[in-house]
Structure 1
Amino acid sequence: MQIGLLSDTHSYLDPALYHHFADCDELWHAGDIGDSTVLNELEAFKPIRAVYGNIDDTAIRNRCPLDQSFTVAGLSVFMTHIGGYPGRYTARVRNLLKELRPNLYLCGHSHILKVVMDKQLGVLHINPGACGRHGFHRMRTAMRFQIDSGRITNVEVIELGLRGAIPAAPERR
């Protein structure tokens, strides 16, 4: 099973994602979707699992939960938007990770792409960074990977380009 993972679109869905996610079986969005149009477009393209983020309005919060806990192809997954990373989890997420014991923990929010194994809890943490145009990140990113019999393989980082255009220096006369 091939998964496309994205987060922090902030109302901007890069058209290049349609190409990068063309062979994906599902898309997973780790929150801060922004505009409902983004969610509508993703749903029309592929099956999607999504959580809401701190910038998402009531319309998105009515369609997406705060957390998702599910099993796919033998892999147990926990996804939320704000949760921290190994050694720096929020108290809520730390308690949920101890209770649920997922193989994979996904979050967004920081706009920092991160793939870290939490050896203490035995969970792989992935934050795909941010693929939208708003925030402090320099490079817009998403990820793609495969799940086979409970194992994650072929993990790829997708770079979508710089977050914003660097303004040209004014011409000197």
Structure 2
Amino acid sequence: MRILLLADTHGVLDARIAELARECQLAVHAGDIGSDDVLDRLAAAAGGVLAVRGNNDVPGKWLGAAATLAGLPDQLAVPLPGGLLTVEHGHRHGAARRHPRLRASHGNARAVLYGHSHRLVRDQDTLPWLLNPGAGGRVRTGGGPSCLVLDAGHDWQITEHRFPPLAPARRRRAAGQRRRTG
């Protein structure tokens, strides 16, 4: 089973990540989603979508239906071939001791998917693995939007995907206008 792992889209799903979702049976979002549109696009591309609430998934920052936001859990346990994937945003564990706290909180999992830091991390030295796909939108991508793909079977394989940053929309439009006129 192939699963797209992402987080921290903040209302904007990078089109290259949406395209990658088409190769997956499931998309799992670790919070700071930002809008119904992100979940709708993931559901249309992958076979399904699961998501948890992040610290920025609050009524004043959410674009879309309040019912969607209200239905987001703080944590998920996703049984997969070969083990359990647990999901939470990670903001409740603090930065300095996040990994030991996540491992202690999810000792029954094969892997923990989390977000919040916007930093791509694959800590696979100890079980449970700690997986942070980085930022899948445009906010604080740290070198470009990123995600992970999990191939779950008896053995689990993780593949990183980092895409070059896109120029801000205004600059792309201006560059296109210059090319056409000059």
- TM bracket (short chain): 0.7 to 0.9
Conserved 8 A contact 1:133-1:164: no
Q: 1:82 aligns with which of 67, 90, 106?
A: 90
Give the whole-Å Cα distance in 1 for the aligned partners of 2:18 and 2:10: 17
Superposition TM-score, scaled by structure 1 size: 0.80
Give the whole-Å Cα distance in 2 for the aligned partners of 1:132 and 1:78: 22
Match of 1:106 in 2: 113
RMSD: 2.6
How far apart are residue 81 of structure 1 and its match? Answer: 0.4
Give the whole-Å Cα distance in 1 for the aligned partners of 2:125 and 2:106: 11
How far apart are residue 36 of structure 1 and its match? Answer: 1.6
4+ residue segments displaced more than 6 Å: none
Match of 2:122 in 1: 115
Identity within the alignment, %: 28
Structure 1, gaps ≥5 residues long: 168-173
Give the whole-Å Cα distance in 2 for the aligned partners of 1:102 and 1:87: 22
Residues 82/19 of structure 1: CA separation in 2 closer, same or farther (3 Å cut): same
For residue 152 of structure 1, what is the amino acid of its counterpart?
W
Match of 2:144 in 1: 139
Give the whole-Å Cα distance in 2 for the aligned partners of 1:6 and 1:102: 18
Residues 95/12 of structure 1: CA separation in 2 closer, same or farther (3 Å cut): same
Conserved 8 A contact 1:76-1:104: yes
Q: Is 1:63 aligned to 2:71, yes or no?
A: yes
Residues 5/90 of structure 1: CA separation in 2 closer, same or farther (3 Å cut): closer
How far apart are residue 132 of structure 1 and its match? Answer: 1.2
Higher relative helix content: 2
Match of 1:44 in 2: 44
Conserved 8 A contact 1:138-1:162: yes
Superposition TM-score, scaled by structure 2 size: 0.76
Q: Which moved more, 1:87-96 or 1:53-62?
A: 87-96
Higher relative strand content: 1
Residues 22/94 of structure 1: CA separation in 2 closer, same or farther (3 Å cut): closer
Question: 1:45-78, CA deviations, whole angstroms, 9 ceiling, x for partnerless residues?
Answer: 3201111111112434312210001211131111
Match of 2:178 in 1: none
1:54 aligned counterpart, secondary structure: coil
Give the whole-Å Cα distance in 1 for the aligned partners of 2:122 and 2:90: 16
Match of 1:161 in 2: 164
Q: Aligned residues, how many?
A: 160
Give the whole-Å Cα distance in 2 for the aligned partners of 1:63 and 1:163: 32
Question: 1:88-112, CA deviations, whole angstroms, 9 ceiling, x for partnerless residues?
Answer: 22897455224xx111111000000
Give the whole-Å Cα distance in 1 for the aligned partners of 2:20 and 2:141: 24
Structure 2, gaps ≥5 residues long: 60-65, 172-182
Conserved 8 A contact 2:102-2:112: no
Conserved 8 A contact 1:30-1:80: yes
